[in-house]
A and B are shown apart, each in its own frame.
Chain A
Amino acid sequence: MSNVLWQPSADIETLRERAAIIRCIREFFYTRDVMEVETPSLSAASVTDVHLATFSTEFVGPGHAGGLPLYLQTSPEFAMKRLLAAGSGAIFQLCKAFRNEEAGSHHNPEFTMLEWYRPGFDEFALMDEMDELMQLVLGVKPAERLTYQQAFINALAVDPLTADISTLQQLATEQGFADIAAHETHRDTLLQLLFCMKVEPTIGQEKPCFVYHFPASQAALAQICQHDERVAGRFELYFKNMELANGFNELTDAKEQAARFKEDNQYREANGLKQVPMDERLIAALENGLPQCAGVALGIDRLIMLATKKQKIKDVIAFDVERA
């Protein structure tokens, strides 16, 4: 008998439940005429997002004797937006996403993502649809909704949209993060620390909770709201201490998108991170015209953890990174 750990990290019964959930999700979209698509896992460009680390490799073969650098996708977002710009209409994808530097009870460097886009929807219409999917898969009550500002105030009695850096440093110190607060001069890092550690445990315990209108400084690829420029059309879904999904009222302005990529790279440079060339193919697609749409990405492994009441991501995937 060898001591090699060949067995799956999830038990077969859980994998059977997983298969049933995946099937249920596909049916949900088939009945709504949302087309299933597949886009490359390996792509010539990647994300500039300062908090995402990528895997990269190289294609060597016909036409590329010198090697073509390729990145494993952190999400299928850019390629799916190019399909939307080409007139695909509503689309969904179930695929693997790859993120370096992430492993833990809620993270595996390779994980399964459900991403879908709805032309003509805003973030609220998409939250409605997502709520229906959650009720179907998890058998939960309709989700509650809170603005980021309200969730933050409820938990910490500080307004995240108006608080200055010293107020946030003081709040973080009071909440037990003195060492981080003493050196942290980036407002969003303090907001993310407080939101993750102190706000998340207070929301979405009984039923899922949508948090919307994230601060504009954390808009990522969402449009800034016209009614209040301090916030963006970005939402997240939380349930039982798990961040399940991130959605946007998608930014369609090519110039604005290019400017945000550039800003990310400036931050990268200032903080000693590797520069990432912006995805010119996405920018060109946006210039050609992305229909107004909303899109969302949901972590399937975490959804299955909730559905099967498992505590660790490795309990719901066949082979986690330690057994891959």
Chain B
Amino acid sequence: MANYSTNEFKGGLKIMLDGEPCSILENEMVKPGKGQAFNRVRIRKLITGKVLEKTFKSGETVEGADVMDTDLAYLYTDGEFWHFMNNETFEQIAADEKALGDNAKWLVENDVCTITLWNGSPIAVTPPNFVELEITETDPGLKGDTAGTGGKPATLSTGAVVRVPLFVQIGEVIKVDTRSGEYVSRVK
């Protein structure tokens, strides 16, 4: 993998830090008028998702990380692995629980997810920003409540639990924002 100097640092660049692939979020140069320049960099560790700040001496180089994002359709889970397929080449990739993290609950068959590969292996799965899921369990709400004040918890077909307005009922399909885990609307 290529090495990158601090001058090449920018948002989205993937580098290795302490043996873990990371993505640069922000890069700011800090330099006293008379003195050494530094780069203060905000970095997201791609496996743990942890965000941290790191300072480099300007001009230093770091090893790049062989990380790429690929869009794959979700097929099924066998309980241990989640299987995805490239819709053009039909090549399949299996991601484990560690790569899925909390995102397993947003996987809908045939939805196209972004799989982050490090040295060819999946390390993260990002579901679409919006998914549509059926409500399998929720308290019967009051008819006529359209304002959505307060709401109630609803369990979805994947096991995810979201707060929904009182008028939404079992069997209905709703749209959820996977980034915030919030209810967006009913799907007619």
Q: Which residues of A contact B (CB under 8 A)?
A: 49, 51, 101-107, 176-177, 179-180, 184, 188-189, 192-193, 195-197, 218, 220, 236, 243, 246, 297, 299
Contact = CB atoms under 8 A, between A and B. Distances in A.
Contacts of B54: 179
A30 to B, nearest CB: 27
15 contacts: A51-B35, A51-B36, A101-B37, A107-B31, A184-B57, A188-B36, A189-B57, A192-B36, A193-B36, A196-B35, A197-B30, A218-B35, A236-B32, A243-B32, A297-B33
A102 B36 CA distance: 12
B142 interface: no
B109 interface: no
7 tightest A-B contacts by CB? A104-B29, A192-B35, A189-B36, A246-B33, A192-B36, A220-B34, A51-B35
A195 B34 CA distance: 12
Contacts of B29: 102-104, 106-107
A243 B33 contact: yes
A195 B36 CA distance: 11
A95 B57 CA distance: 30
A197 B55 contact: yes
Nearest to B29: A104
A296 to B, nearest CB: 11
Nearest to A245: B33
B167 interface: no
Interface of B: 7, 28-38, 40, 53-58
Contact of B35 (A101, A188, A297): A188
Nearest to B35: A192
Contacts of A189: 35-36, 57
B34 A180 contact: no
Nearest to A74: B33
Nearest to A186: B36
**Most B-side CB within 10 Å, residue of A102, A105, A192, A299:** A192
A96 to B, nearest CB: 16
B19 to A, nearest CB: 13
A102 B55 CA distance: 16
Instruction: From B38, B40, B53, name the one whose CB has the most chain A CB atoms within 10 angstroms.
Output: B38
Nearest to A105: B28
Contacts of A184: 57
A180 B35 contact: no
A102 B31 contact: yes
A195 B31 contact: no
Nearest to A183: B57
A176 to B, nearest CB: 8
Given A104-B30, A196-B32, 4 more contacts: A104-B29, A105-B28, A188-B36, A197-B55
A224 to B, nearest CB: 15
A243 B34 CA distance: 11
Contacts of A197: 30, 38, 40, 55
Contacts of A236: 32-33
A220 B7 CA distance: 26
Contact of A192 (B28, B32, B53, B56): B32
Contacts of A102: 29, 31, 37
B32 to A, nearest CB: 6
Contacts of B30: 104, 106, 196-197
Contacts of A107: 29, 31
B34 A51 contact: yes
A102 B33 CA distance: 10
A197 B32 CA distance: 10
Contact of B55 (A103, A180, A220, A299): A180
A243 B37 CA distance: 13
Contact of A246 (B34, B38, B55): B34
Contacts of A106: 29-30
A192 B47 CA distance: 33
